[in-house]
Amino acid sequence: MKSVKIIASFLDKIVKIVAIGYLVTAIYTLINCLFQGPFFETLERNRFAINFPFTHIHFLLGSEYSFEYVAEMVIGLGLYGLFFWVLGNVFKTFKQERLFTQNGLKYLKQFYIFNLILYPVFAIIWAFISIEDFPFFAMIVAHAIMGIFIYFMAAIFEQGVNLQVEQDLYI
């Protein structure tokens, strides 16, 4: 179990860094596209670039500067930022001293709700405004599979929490 805690700790940190990167990129993209600040660059054929801060080096390239395209970009970045954040919380569950806790169960429930409800809703909205070709159905199925797997794991954890509470009352 010690190796699980070590791996979960490592993955929790890495995935939270990725989540923060996605969320900051979503906010940075939104601000730059709304206000066309010093890091926003208009390119030929209605394309655009968002540069790394304080440089002229392109960070993100957009194939069309339109509300739909920018919304699609920001929704995608934000959605995956949120995905990685709740995934990090799942890893946090496995690094706790006691495995079967209410907090751990809460994190598992958040992850399966995200994958079974929130992601499909946003993916459907995203598909309607999408300009790019993106395999929305395949992504919904992939997230549903993860959600169902974690739903089963949460059911097992709920049993573990109940047994843990009973054991604590018995002692």
- Sequence-distant (≥ 6) Cβ neighbours of residue 69 within 8 angstroms: 62, 63, 131, 132
State the helix-helix crossing angle for 102-113 and 136-170, rounded to 10 degrees. 160
pTM: 0.86
Does 125 or 35 have the greater pLDDT score? 35
What is the number of domains present in the chain?
A: 1
Is 165's pLDDT higher than 80? no
At residue 117, the pLDDT reads 94
Say how far apart CA 38 and CA 66 lie, in whole Å: 19
Confidence of residue 136 (pLDDT cuts 50, 70, 90): confident
Percentage with pLDDT > 90 across the chain: 59
Range 53-62 average pLDDT: 91
By residue range, what is the domain housing residue 122?
Answer: 2-170
Say how far apart CA 27 and CA 40 lie, in whole Å: 14
Residue type at position 86: V
At residue 78, the pLDDT reads 94
Say how far apart CA 126 and CA 159 lie, in whole Å: 37
Is 95's pLDDT higher than 80? yes
Residue type at position 160: G
- Residue 152's CB is within 10 A of a number of other CB atoms, namely 12
What would the pLDDT profile of 117-134 be if each residue is shown by its tens digit? Answer: 999 998 888 788 777 777
